[in-house]
Amino acid sequence: MPHSVTPEAIPAVEQLIAKSEPGTQDMAMDDAPSAEVEDKAKVNLEDLFDDEDSDEEFASSAPVKSEEDASQPAATFKISDKSQYSDPDVMRAFYQRLFPFRFFFQWLNHSAVPSNDFAHREFAFTLSNDALQRYQSFPTADLLRKRCIADTPPRIDIGPVYSTNPRDRKTLRKASAFRPISRELVFDIDMDAYDDIRTCCTGANICQKCWAFITMSIKVVDVALRDDFGFKHVMWVYSGRRGAHAWVCDKRAREMDDSKRRAVYGYLELLKGGDQGGKKVNVWRPLHPHLERSLSILKEHFQTTILAEQDPWAEQNSAHLLNLIPDTKLREALQKKWDSSPGRPSASKWADIDSVAKSGALSKSSKELLEAKQDIVLEYTYPRLDADVGKKLNHLLKSPFVVHPATGRICVPIDPRRVEEFDPLSVPKVTELLVEIDEWSGEDSEKKIQDWEKTSLKPYIEYFRVFVAGLLKEEKEKGGIKRERDENGDVMEF
Amino acid sequence: MIRHDYSRVEPKRRANIDPKKRQFAKAEYAQQDYKHRLNFYTLPPTAEITLEEFETWAINRLKVLSELEACSFRNRSPEETAEYMTSILNKYLPLRANTSRGTNLQEERKRDHYSHFILRLAFSSTEELRRRFSHLETILFRLRFREDDPRERQGFVRSLDLEWEEVGDDEKRELRDQMLAAIGSKREEEQDWFKVDWERVPELVSQRKVLLKRGMAYVPAKEQTSLVVAEFTKRLDEQLELTARALPRLDEDDRLAPILAHLSQSFTAPEAAYSSSDANIDGLSAINSGAIDTLSQNFPLCMQNLHMTLRANSHLKHYGRLQYTLFLKGIGLSLEECIIFWRRSFKLMTDDKFHKEYKYNIRHAYGDVGGDSNRRGRGYTPYSCQKILTEPLPGPGQAHGCPYRAFNVENLTGLLQRVGIQDREVLQGVKEDVKKQRYHVACNRVFEFAHKKEIKKVKDEGTWSATDLDTIVHPNTYFKRSWLLKHLGDGNAGVVSGDKMEE
């Protein structure tokens, strides 16, 4: 089997073992090292070739491969569903035919003409042997595409834009000349954080019931970013398994320093304290308008998702609920009631709080009880953000539109206006998409139809296209005279 | 790319002199007239001072800043800090109001002005020093701003010419309820409101203390302090950055350079509270991974908690592992033994997963892998209490941080009882300390109780000096002292030799 690894991949400069937390989507590598681990590199390369050799066992993938030039969709090989999602052949076909490089480029470049916004941007490739190549950068979308097709990375992360080209960082006289200068403000919501209140699934599994946690988080955070902070270009992306990322792409957001990022996170964070911290919500009254608004969004979800579906206080599990009730007299009355009828579901227990309080077992004011109940609603529904992803400028975050290696699903954008309709379990898998291309039976009219238009990925890429167009339009308007001159000529197409 | 509008000295105020004669020319505004007590330090000084003045003024200011830093380490409230600092400020860096009868107002202000710029020179060289300097100068500025005469303060603020838009009456009426709710005020008092880009008040945004609408923050007039202070910090940071870049071009002979170097050295980093000598404990032979269980009796509560969580779950989350690994490194556990320790502790995990996802981080903490600077610096230093206490609180499922801060009272009491602190009085004391947010006081209280007998003994025998029993501000110091005290009779003299414990 010919080595489909391009020569530039072989002197792999920095191959690091991925050191992600189990389960988290993004690697904590804010000060992750850029060491050359030479002995490692050797081992990794061997692994890499092993992988290539093992291709043979996928009988369905015919050996015909168009190597570099994929603009001719001549390659016709069938992929069966059984192929591993990050199999190099699947990946190659994916990057050749489906990954929206053009819009991807425009998204990060903020203009149609190649600029440093794209050229100095760090990309990190996770290779099929789990080695991580950091500080990759590409002057144009085409070169990125070529490299993806050659290396077939199962995962691509996006880092910040640096002051100089990341590839040149070691040739600089002074280390301080290489520093991150901008990146999107990002958020990561992961199901991990909900493990203590999620009853339907555990670990990496999700179902529609627990996806509701992500749905309500998106609602709350999205409206705060837009109405409070005034950001306009917020893109939500499904992380491929059980979480979602937000990319705030406004120029104002991209240029924020770490302290401002921390401020945004501080504004949005509510739940404090570890498992031993007791009550996690401690807020002033009157509620801050942001919390007031969040509460009105979340109330409804509390009724459906928490009380009806998750049922967190069923059977003997009501201790935590009792702890959150500030009134000792009421707490004892409830404890007695629930002990005598252990089968009561959470919804009834929740209703019991008011009914028992009304029957006279309340020593504090009803206002205090209402506030305590509000706090409980917030504790169970308020977004739990993974703070470490977004507080630093130079953190890596998984790119949109890559394939999740374990589920095969594409990291597609989520339209926040229709977030309720989003179903993570119906997001297309890479293998399904490749089959769809092959089964497509429409005719090529005068306008050439892209491969992705033949698949169920189409609406997602359309959404991305419109999003990017909106971003570019604003950049152009704000760009002023200098940009205008560039635009006088024909817009360059990629 | 980045514009430094503020940092530029206005052209007409610059010393317009022929560059060839610059060295000998007289600046046009040699002596500044200080109208206000407070100063944003926009204009650099140009008058001549003697070398001796240069040094003494700087040292005096440095003393003030160090005291301020000590206050922030001890978690003193702004009021306590103000009270404590009054006498120190009067002694080293007096700065009186216009209304005071002081005759040498101008002289005081000149010293304040010059000493600020001298320290700026001394502390601009590294990122670390710049950050600390800017932090402390900000505290000092805030302190003075709060105490300033209201009328003079108003005059000063006006002179700054900050662009704040006032909220109009219509908008005020429309948003009043929301604005009041945002600042947590129930009273309906009338006050003025400003409208600024939220980026200018990150502090208030972060604490959710202002109303945000479409990127604008609605700031009440009484939060003016925060606005002015934020502006002060912002300008100072920019200026420091510029100073740092200009520093190599400071074509200086050997008169100022040694003074400057000396100044920045004496401003030692608080992280130095951990010294590598903490790892060498007399009588404690090389620790291996199997000994941790026994030694954990001598650990401070934060580390005991991590250890117990680890034993209970056979797992710890990332920050827990980091905090614990660094501590273990600090007590002298070698990298190899540390890897063995974690491998054995994660009982439920496959070798493959451990090697792939965990081993690297341990090696990184020890400086065995990673970037050049990481390896040269032998990884990270063990966390001090200061560091642990200023990190964000642990989230769900996490066990790192300081239990005195992260636990609620019931759970904290439970934990203390589990590690053998049953004494009512001590528990009550801890409760009160924690309520006042004096977490390290609580920790030291527990330490003193747990080592009551031994402390009495070394005090009576006079083998330990008072500094050896100073307040503990580092988990590794806690361990070292605890271990030594508990092994007094084991042939070691129990003398804490050599290590300086700084606060």
Q: Quick one: pLDDT band at residue A15, thresholds 50, 70, 90?
A: very low
Count of pairs with CB atoms under 8 A, one residue in A, one in B: 142
pLDDT at A196: 82
Q: Is residue B6 part of a domain?
A: no
pLDDT at A219: 96
Determine, for residues B392 and A387 on separate chains, whether the beta-carbon distance falls below 8 Å.
Answer: yes
Q: Is residue B434 part of a domain?
A: yes
**CA pair distance B69, B488, nearest whole angstrom:** 35
Q: Residue window 114-133, chain A: list those with CB within 8 Å of chain B.
A: 130
Q: Are residues B475 and B357 in the same domain?
A: yes
pLDDT at A363: 79
Tell me which chain B residues have a C-beta less than 8 angstroms from the C-beta of A196.
396-397
The mean per-residue pLDDT over the stretch B308-326 comes to 91
pLDDT at A125: 94
| Chosen domain end from B214, B248, B267 | B267
> Would you say residue B46 has pLDDT above 90?
no
Q: Are residues B318 and B181 in the same domain?
A: no
> Would you say residue A180 has pLDDT above 80?
yes
* pLDDT per residue as tens digits for the range B368-426: 887 766 776 678 888 988 888 877 788 778 889 999 988 888 889 989 998 888 888 99
Q: Report whether B443 belongs to an annotated binding site.
A: yes
CA distance to A38, A168, A172, A470, B81, per residue, from A175 (Å): 22, 11, 6, 37, 39
pLDDT at A81: 46
Pairing outcome for strands B211-213 and B216-220: antiparallel
> Would you say residue B349 has pLDDT above 70?
yes
Q: Is residue B4 part of a domain?
A: no
Q: Report whether B302 belongs to an annotated binding site.
A: yes
Q: Are residues B30 and B125 in the same domain?
A: yes
Q: Which residues are registered as beta bridge partners of A243? A: A190
Q: Are residues B303 and B450 in the same domain?
A: yes
Q: Are residues B219 and B246 in the same domain?
A: no
pLDDT at B106: 85
- B367: nearest CA partner in chain A: A33
**CA pair distance A180, B79, nearest whole angstrom:** 39
Q: Is residue B443 part of a domain?
A: yes
Q: Counting beta carbons within 10 angstroms of the beta carbon of residue A393, is it exposed (0 to 12), middle (13 to 18) or buried (19 or more)?
A: buried
Q: Report whether B71 belongs to an annotated binding site.
A: no
**CA pair distance A235, A184, nearest whole angstrom:** 10
Q: Which of B371, B394, B396 has the CB atom closest to A33's CB atom? A: B371
* pLDDT per residue as tens digits for the range B144-177: 998 888 888 888 888 887 777 888 888 888 888 8
Q: What total number of domains does chain B contain?
A: 3
Tell me which chain B residues have a C-beta less than 8 angstroms from the C-beta of A278.
407-408, 410-411
pLDDT at B398: 85
Q: Are residues B302 and B385 in the same domain?
A: yes
Q: Is residue B495 part of a domain?
A: no
User: Is A188 a catalytic site residue?
Assistant: yes
Q: Is residue B5 part of a domain?
A: no
Tell me which chain A residues have a C-beta less than 8 angstroms from the C-beta of B184.
284-286, 288
The mean per-residue pLDDT over the stretch A21-50 comes to 42
Q: Are B181 and A286 in contact (CB under 8 A)?
A: yes
pLDDT at A118: 95
* pLDDT per residue as tens digits for the range B188-217: 666 788 888 998 888 889 889 899 999 999
The mean per-residue pLDDT over the stretch A285-293 comes to 92
**CA pair distance A358, A341, nearest whole angstrom:** 20
DSSP A249: -
Please give the distance of CA B193 from its chain centroid, rounded to a whole number: 32
Whether B178 and chain A come into contact, CB under 8 Å, resolves to yes
Closest by Cα among B357, B368, B287 to B315: B357
> Would you say residue A104 has pLDDT above 90?
yes
Q: Is residue B497 part of a domain?
A: no
**CA pair distance A329, B303, nearest whole angstrom:** 37
Strands (E), B168-316: 193-197, 211-213, 216-220
- B211: nearest CA partner in chain A: A289
Closest by Cα among B298, B361, B374 to B331: B298
pLDDT at A293: 95
Give A293 to chain B, closest Cα distance, Å.
Answer: 11
For chain A, report the end-to-end CA distance as a whole number of angstroms: 32
Give B477 to chain A, closest Cα distance, Å.
Answer: 25
Laid out side by side, the sheet with B165-166 consists of B165-166, B193-197, B216-220, B211-213
Catalytic residue among A14, A89, A188, A475: A188
Q: Is residue B501 part of a domain?
A: no
Q: Quick one: pLDDT band at residue A320, thresholds 50, 70, 90?
A: confident
Comparing B164 with A125, the larger pLDDT belongs to A125
Query: What is the enclosing helix (H) or strand (E) of A209?
Result: helix A208-223
Give B389 to chain A, closest Cα distance, Å.
Answer: 13
- Domains observed in chain A: 7-61+72-208+387-488 (3.90.920.10), 280-382 (no CATH)
User: Is A315 a catalytic site residue?
Assistant: no
List the domain range (segments joined by +) for residue B209: 165-224
**CA pair distance B368, B374, nearest whole angstrom:** 8
CA angle B409, B415, B420 (to 5 degrees): 125
Q: Quick one: pLDDT band at residue A493, thresholds 50, 70, 90?
A: very low
> Would you say residue A258 has pLDDT above 90?
no
Q: Are residues B212 and B347 in the same domain?
A: no
> Would you say residue B327 has pLDDT above 90?
yes
Q: Are residues B391 and B426 in the same domain?
A: yes
> Would you say residue B288 has pLDDT above 70?
yes
Q: Report whether B402 belongs to an annotated binding site.
A: yes
Q: Are residues B216 and B238 in the same domain?
A: no
Give B317 to chain A, closest Cα distance, Å.
Answer: 8
> Which tokens go with B150?
């209201």
Q: Which of B369, B392, B407 has the CB atom closest to A35's CB atom? A: B369
Determine, for residues B182 and A288 on separate chains, whether the beta-carbon distance falls below 8 Å.
Answer: yes
CA distance to A106, A118, A401, A414, B2, per residue, from A109 (Å): 5, 5, 17, 21, 19
**CA pair distance B171, B180, nearest whole angstrom:** 13
The mean per-residue pLDDT over the stretch B258-266 comes to 77
> Which tokens go with B276?
């590598």
The mean per-residue pLDDT over the stretch A353-370 comes to 85
Q: Are residues B257 and B215 in the same domain?
A: no
Mean of the per-residue pLDDT values of chain B: 81
Q: Which of A16, A17, A286 has the CB atom closest to B184's CB atom? A: A286
Q: Counting beta carbons within 10 angstroms of the beta carbon of residue B60, is it exposed (0 to 12), middle (13 to 18) or buried (19 or more)?
A: middle
- B218: nearest CA partner in chain A: A228
For B42-101, give the DSSP string.
-SPP-S---HHHHHHHHHHHHHHHHHHHHHHHTT--HHHHHHHHHHHHHHHS----TTS-
* pLDDT per residue as tens digits for the range A194-222: 888 888 888 778 888 889 999 999 999 99
SS3 of residue A379 by DSSP? helix
Give A454 to chain B, closest Cα distance, Å.
Answer: 39
Q: Are residues B100 and B172 in the same domain?
A: no
ipTM topping 0.85: no
User: Is A250 a catalytic site residue?
Assistant: no
Q: Are residues B171 and B48 in the same domain?
A: no
CATH number at residue B66: 1.20.930.80
